[in-house]
Amino acid sequence: EPEVTQTPSHQVTQMGQEVILRCVPISNHLYFYWYRQILGQKVEFLVSFYNNEISEKSEIFDDQFSVERPDGSNFTLKIRSTKLEDSAMYFCASSGSGAPLHFGNGTRLTVT
């Protein structure tokens, strides 16, 4: 069964550094998402992406965040200048039209 894959599984970075989290969505999906989950808390929506543009974003997704689909297979989340409070699990998801989201297993981001 096709699945969403995310790399790396764990990323450690220093405060102020840029990080890029990578995702390969399911190949025939058209909608792409990033969520995050701070330890012990619920899964929070960050951004949705369709037709090469952001379709919706949350208040968490400020100017420090950006997403890109650089080619036909990858979907990336960039954090320009990481803060301690960016430490969380970041989940990528994809879906077809009107279908449930399929999630990857996440990247654990630790900002020190």
Which of 19, 94, 102, 111 forms a contact with other proteins (CB under 8 A)? 102
Q: Which of residues 5-64 bind other proteins (CB under 8 A)?
A: 33, 35, 40-45, 48, 55-56
For residue 109, which of 79, 91, 89 has the smallest C-alpha distance?
89
**Residue 69 or residue 108: which is nearer to other proteins going by CB?**
108
Closest CB 20 distance from other proteins, rounded Å: 19
Which of 73, 74, 81, 105 forms a contact with other proteins (CB under 8 A)? 105
Asked whether 23 and 4 are in contact (CB, 8 A), the reply is yes
| 28-52 residues labelled b (16+ CB within 10 A) or e (exposed) | ebebbbbbbeeeeeeebebbbbeee
Residue with tokens 């990857």: 104
**Residue 23 or residue 79: which is nearer to other proteins going by CB?**
23
Closest CB 81 distance from other proteins, rounded Å: 26
Q: By CB under 8 A, is residue 4 in contact with other proteins? A: yes
- Residues 6 or more apart whose CB falls under 8 angstroms from that of 38 comprise 44, 87, 88, 89
Contacting residues toward other proteins, per CB under 8 A: 4, 33, 35, 40-45, 48, 55-56, 91, 93, 98, 100-106
